[in-house]
Homo-oligomer: A and B are copies of this chain.
Amino acid sequence: MTLPNPMTVTVLGAGAMGSALCTPLRARGHTVRLWGTPLDEDILTALEGGLPHPRTGEHLADGTELVHDPDLESALADADVVVVAVSSDGVRSIVERAAPLMGRAQALALTTKGFLRDAEGTVRLLPESIERIFSDSAAVPPPIVAIGGPCKANEVAASRPTAAVFGCSDIDVARSIAGAVETDGYRIHVTDDDRGVEVAAPLKNVYAIALGFADGLTTRTGQPWHDLRSAVFSKAVDEIADMTEALGGSARTAWGLSGVGDLEVTGLSGRNKVFGERLGSGEAPAEALQKMIDAHQTVEGVPASGLAVALASQLFDDAASRLPLLHAIRRIVEGCDDPLLVLTTAALPPLQASGSSR
């Protein structure tokens, strides 16, 4: 794969991660067009006014070209690489519009993370869903590069040291794009396991709710619940690895930057962890979620927990016993009684004398 240098990169979605990626892209001298969705108008206005990005608190990289909706056609014209960085809610409609317009693109890189349910009700990984959207538009998708790993948008935007993962079934594509995007601070591990990257990314948002729950207990009781948090962490990694293998990815991906690394960063801060913290502090889920919605904070792990449970039931007859932590989180999010007991039962090893209580 031969990319021009500099190349033209169009980023679809001016949210936190789309805008942040402009930092390494511009540092490497590429032509960068940042296209905002209709929901991004306030962000574009702020950036055009020279203000920092409202979500990352960082200024946009110098020289980034801003493009408003609906001017998608000119945004995508001559793009060598397209980055899809819209929310998982918006990905279907944006890709439907963009698919016929990116004929020249050599790769579609994906920072959007989530599972999508198709019209028949089947839950699918994002690259598969995107390929089907292209196919419905009678367009041929370029190779899809899944971007994962422990990357907070504000840190990428500020050039603080970050390890990303670029995954593509054609590893040469991942390697070429990575070579064109990497900087001293934005380093990239490449893999051919795009599926593994796409499984871990939405799941870590779900499991981060449980990490936050343990943090909330610590806050509420004034005593550390670090052992529980760490048992949850380890169990989450086990379940992500299990789901990854069942979906045709490699468990090694779950044990690396995309799984362990991304779960770690997601448990340190961010909305899913904060939502879990509220639950662990004793707030009811509906009330906690409403407060976050009122503050314009989407908690992606909540819808992802429902989709993940549905996906698990597509994969395993014994999904609930095989992935107890995932199912416990779903119950907690739905407001079950005694969430602490539900969480500990799912996260800790079973008793040797199984069935008995000690």
Assuming the contacts A28-B358, A261-B233, A349-B189, asked whether A227 and B179 have C-beta atoms less than 8 A apart, the reply is no
**A269 neighbours in B (Cβ, 8 Å):** 224, 226
Binary flags per residue of A168-180, CB closer than 8 Å to B gives 1, else 0: 0000000100110
| Inter-subunit contact A160/B233 (CB<8 Å) | no
Which of B237, B265, B352 is in CB contact (< 8 Å) with A178? Answer: B352
Which residues of chain B have C-beta atoms less than 8 A from A352's C-beta? 175, 178-179, 182, 188, 190
A187 within 8 A of B: yes
What distance in Å separates the Cβ of A84 from its nearest Cβ neighbour in chain B?
A: 21
Answer yes or no: A151 CB below 8 A from chain B CBs. yes
A347 and B182 in contact (CB under 8 A), knowing A238-B256, A260-B237, A265-B230?
no
Number of identical protomers: 2
Separation in Å of the A67 CB from the closest CB of chain B? Answer: 27
| Cα–Cα distance between A156 and B231 once the two chains are bound (Å) | 13
Which residues of A in the span 308-358 have a Cβ within 8 Å of any Cβ on B?
344, 347-353, 357-358
A226 & B182 in contact (Cβ 8 Å cutoff): no
List, in ascending order, chain B residues with CB within 8 A of A257's CB. 231, 234, 349
Q: How far is the CA of A65 from the CA of B161 in the complex (A)?
A: 52
Q: Is A31 an interface residue (CB 8 A)?
A: no
Shortest distance between the CB of A163 and any CB in chain B (Å)? 4
Determine if A231 and B351 form an interchain contact, defined as CB atoms under 8 angstroms apart.
no
Known: A161-B348, A231-B162, A348-B161. A152 touches B182 (CB 8 A): no
The 10 closest A-B pairs by CB, nearest first: A150-B230, A234-B261, A163-B231, A230-B265, A187-B348, A179-B352, A230-B264, A162-B227, A189-B349, A187-B349
23 contacts between A and B (CB under 8 A): A150-B230, A150-B233, A152-B224, A152-B226, A155-B224, A160-B223, A160-B224, A160-B225, A160-B227, A161-B227, A161-B344, A163-B227, A163-B348, A178-B352, A184-B357, A187-B351, A189-B349, A229-B268, A230-B268, A234-B264, A237-B255, A241-B255, A255-B255
